[in-house]
Amino acid sequence: MFRIIRNKLFYIIFELAVKLRSIKLTSYLIFISLRPLTGIKKTYSNRKLIILEKSIGIDDVRLCYSKTKIKFQPYVLQRRLLKIIFDQFLKGVHEHYYMKNNKQTEGKKKDLRLHYTKILRELKKIFKVDIIINFNWLYGPERELQYACKNNNIKFITHQKESNVLDGEKPLYYKLFLKNLGIYNGDLMLVYSKRYADFLIESKVVKKNQIKVIGVPRADKLFDKKINFKQKHILFFLMQSQRGIFAPDKKALKFWEETTLLAVKSTLKIAKKFPDVKFIFKSKNINRDDINKQIKIINDSNLKNCEIIKGGQSFNYIKDSKAVIGFNSISILEGVGCRKKTIVPYFNLNNEFKKKNVMKLSQPVLMAKNVKQFKYYLEKIIKSKPYRINLDQQSKNLLEYHMGNSDGKSYKRFANIINNI
């Protein structure tokens, strides 16, 4: 109770400080809100970095710190504080249309940039920060912060967590990226794969010297031979038919939704046939129509062997699964990395449009051409004895293409870059 009251009081005071444009009070409140990154090896250094909190991104950085020496003391800052500041200047400006503004809004952006610059300058008097890390170059409240860091000799690094762009989405992105989003103004962007790096360079969002490929640090654990991989359940990742930065093609949206709903219904029929087999349906902790439709279908089935899990890390569910089912998701690749039999519902890919609006996959992923084949693959896996799959070269090539990680050494690449700043 005390903590709840204390936190509410803190945010009231912080909002008041921001409204009054009190640089000293705002920077001091930011300072006292900073907390050391937990779950890592102790780091003894006078050099400091601030991580703008985001769950998956934090997990990536935490893994890097836990596996090797990084010469910067890491602290975590709530992104909510930056959102409060942002809303005082640019409330209502959508991050996906950040550049589509009038002269008045452009003036407010410059005001916010100057405000951030003054806050960081004051903060450095009591907390000498060398690096700020965020996890998506598009986050609206952090766009002007990129400029403010330059003004204070602080390196701004983006460890980009989004990377799954389909071929069918690229023409729209090429057309609208610069027009709606502008360019990256940080110092360095770290991305998962060469494929995504090339895409951003071709989009003219970043220059070649602003971007490096490191892979997915949290996926390094897939290569840990000490982990005990089990085969306890069937894992189905609920599929996002509403995806991307810009409104997707209506034809693609219809195709994705039809595929996802058909895959859910087909899986439930198999679950009913095998009541002793546990089925876990995993989703992000989001409230969206496409996910809610799938959840409703699962709940309406009233199958006791089916469980829905929202949010949280997926790794433990993947490593203990007998089969992984997904669609247009990096989770498919994590299944491959965990040596799991992985099924993707590529139903009726009978034209170029559909083929361009799904991920490019290859063996060992089982790509079901229709519902009959999907059910066949799933039933066969359920009936089979526990299996062991080696991570062959074909699997490694697939992981490298989508995740930039076929060697389990993403943490080293991250550490080397940070340590050399």
Q: Does residue 241 share a domain with residue 136?
A: no
Q: Does residue 6 share a domain with residue 151?
A: yes
Q: Does residue 149 share a domain with residue 57?
A: yes
Q: Strand, helix or coil at 254?
A: helix
Q: Does residue 322 share a domain with residue 382?
A: yes
pLDDT in tens, 374-400: 999 999 999 999 998 888 999 999 999
pTM of the model: 0.92
Helices and strands of the chain, counted as H and E runs: 16, 13
Q: Does residue 193 share a domain with residue 92?
A: yes
Token pair of 176 as six digits: 């609208």
Q: Secondary structure of the chain: what % helix, strand, coil (to 5)?
A: 50, 15, 35
Q: Does residue 345 share a domain with residue 299?
A: yes
């005990």: which residue's tokens? 228
Q: For the chain, how long is the longest CA-to-CA vector?
A: 67
In CATH, what number is assigned to the domain containing residue 83? 3.40.50
Token pair of 25 as six digits: 């009070």
Collect the ranges in the chain with pLDDT lower than 50.
none
Q: Does residue 247 share a domain with residue 171?
A: no
Q: Does residue 359 share a domain with residue 238?
A: yes
Q: Does residue 327 share a domain with residue 251?
A: yes
Q: Does residue 174 share a domain with residue 69?
A: yes
In CATH, what number is assigned to the domain containing residue 228? 3.40.50.2000
* Long-range contacts (CB closer than 8 Å, 24 or more residues apart) made by 153-157: 154/120, 154/124, 154/129, 154/130, 155/130, 155/131, 155/187, 155/188, 155/421, 156/131, 156/132, 156/185, 156/186, 156/187, 157/131, 157/132, 157/133, 157/186, 157/187, 157/188, 157/189, 157/190, 157/418, 157/421
**DSSP designation for 218:** G
Cα gap 178→348, rounded to integer Å = 35
**CA neighbours within 13 Å on the CB side: how many for 111?**
13
Q: Strand, helix or coil at 141?
A: helix
Q: What does the pLDDT read at residue 97?
A: 86
- Which residues fall within 8 angstroms of residue 202, CB to CB, at 6 or more apart? 174
Q: Strand, helix or coil at 162?
A: coil
Q: What does the pLDDT read at residue 55?
A: 80
Q: Does residue 92 share a domain with residue 173?
A: yes
Q: What does the pLDDT read at residue 106?
A: 92
- One-letter amino acid identity for 214? I
Q: What does the pLDDT read at residue 245?
A: 66
Q: Which domain holds residue 169?
A: 2-216+409-419
Token pair of 155 as six digits: 């390196």
Domain count, the chain: 2
Q: Does residue 320 share a domain with residue 375?
A: yes
